[in-house]
């Protein structure tokens, strides 16, 4: 989500390569399989490798190592 | 008709699998998405040229393509909890059963535009579940395209 004046600025809850910890899934209130599922889809679509560094925010936003938006956990995880 | 052993294997796969899907991706700085779609005849889940801005999801957020990408995901097209069914769907896209084989034309395009092709397999299972195998016939069909296969398997 874009940051707007008056809204709480999204906070970083994970930054690194590899797979996020269970705490990240808990913080986003999604099962870990949904988090992994969404990250796989986002990285594939963005031509990022499994070991590429990403940053995840508490609103679900995912950015690459350059700070570019590449996806959102809530939008990219299958809800069913 | 499937044997009792195959049916049993599939039931176990369904109960132990929390999520599975596969993706087919072509990428490269010279990639023209329409060229891939014209050969395959199936629209991509997402495609963009190098430098092009594309939507990352329903909210309208955008990203800029670092390279060209043509990407097809089975996540919503195939509902099966068996990875082989998702891979079989992709194989049927590049080489339709009872239709014309798209692999030679795709290989020509890959060579001409210096593209990369790869297939990824995502699988997430319950704690202690056994990750699936990739059937040899499917592996060969993907390798015939010159595509690499990546696996991303994990459990609770």
Q: Is the minimum CB–CB distance between B25 and chain A shorter than 8 Å?
A: yes
**Least confident residue range of B10-19, B53-62, B64-73, B142-151:** B10-19
| Interface residue of B48, B53, B78, B152 to substitute, partner A, most A CBs within 10 Å | B152
Cross-chain Cβ contact B19/A44 below 8 Å: no
Give the nearest chain A residue to B75 (CA atoms). A78
Confirm whether A7 is domain-assigned: no
With a cut of 60, say whether residue A3 has pLDDT above it. Answer: no
Confirm whether A10 is domain-assigned: no
Domain boundaries along the sequence of chain B: 4-155
Cα–Cα distance for residue pair B51/A49, rounded to 1 Å = 19
For the stretch A26-60, pLDDT in tens is 999 999 999 999 999 999 999 998 889 999 999 99
Average pLDDT rounded to a whole number, residues A64-77: 93
Q: What is the mean pLDDT of chain A?
A: 89
Q: What percent of chain B has pLDDT over 90?
A: 86
Confirm whether A13 is domain-assigned: no
Confirm whether A42 is domain-assigned: yes
Of B25, B27, B59, which has the smallest distance from its Cβ to A1's Cβ? B59
Confirm whether A9 is domain-assigned: no
Confirm whether A17 is domain-assigned: no
For the stretch B85-115, pLDDT in tens is 999 999 999 999 998 999 999 999 999 999 9
Q: What is the mean pLDDT of chain B?
A: 92
ipTM above 0.90, yes or no: no
Cα–Cα distance for residue pair B66/A46, rounded to 1 Å = 8
With a cut of 90, say whether residue B51 has pLDDT above it. Answer: yes
Cross-chain Cβ contact A76/B57 below 8 Å: yes
Confirm whether A15 is domain-assigned: no
For the stretch B32-43, pLDDT in tens is 999 999 999 999
Tell which wins on pLDDT, B6 or B58. B58
Cross-chain Cβ contact B152/A40 below 8 Å: yes
Domain count, chain A: 1
Q: Which residue has the tokens 């590449």?
A: A70
Cα–Cα distance for residue pair B42/B40, rounded to 1 Å = 5
Q: What local confidence, expressed as pLDDT, does residue A53 receive? A: 95
Q: How far is A75 from chain B (nearest CA, A)?
A: 6
Q: How far is A15 from chain B (nearest CA, A)?
A: 19
Confirm whether A48 is domain-assigned: yes
Q: Is the pTM of this model over 0.95?
A: no
Q: Is the dihedral of CA B108, B111, B113, B115 positive or negative?
A: positive
């Amino acid at each position: 989500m874009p940051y707007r004046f008056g809204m709480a600025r999204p906070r970083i809850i994970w930054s690194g390569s590899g797979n996020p910890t269970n705490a990240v899934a808990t913080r986003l209130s999604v099962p870990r399989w949904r988090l992994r599922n969404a990250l796989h889809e986002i990285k594939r679509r963005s031509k990022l490798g499994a070991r590429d560094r990403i940053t995840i925010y508490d609103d679900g936003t995912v950015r690459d190592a350059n700070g570019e938006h590449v996806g959102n956990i809530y939008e990219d995880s299958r809800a069913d | 008709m499937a044997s009792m052993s195959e049916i049993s294997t599939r039931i176990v796969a369904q109960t132990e699998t929390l999520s599975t899907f596969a993706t087919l991706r072509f990428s490269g700085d010279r990639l023209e998405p329409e060229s891939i779609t014209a050969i395959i005849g199936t629209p991509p889940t997402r495609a963009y040229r190098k430098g092009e801005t594309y939507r990352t999801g329903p909210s309208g957020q955008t990203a800029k393509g670092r390279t060209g990408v043509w990407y097809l995901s089975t996540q919503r097209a195939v509902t099966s909890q068996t990875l082989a069914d998702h891979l079989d769907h992709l194989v049927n896209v590049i080489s339709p059963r009872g239709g014309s084989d798209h692999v030679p034309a795709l290989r020509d395009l890959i060579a001409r535009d210096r593209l990369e092709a790869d297939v990824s397999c995502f699988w997430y299972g319950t704690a202690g579940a056994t990750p699936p195998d990739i059937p040899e016939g499917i592996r060969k069909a993907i390798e015939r395209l010159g595509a690499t296969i990546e696996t991303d398997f994990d459990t609770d």
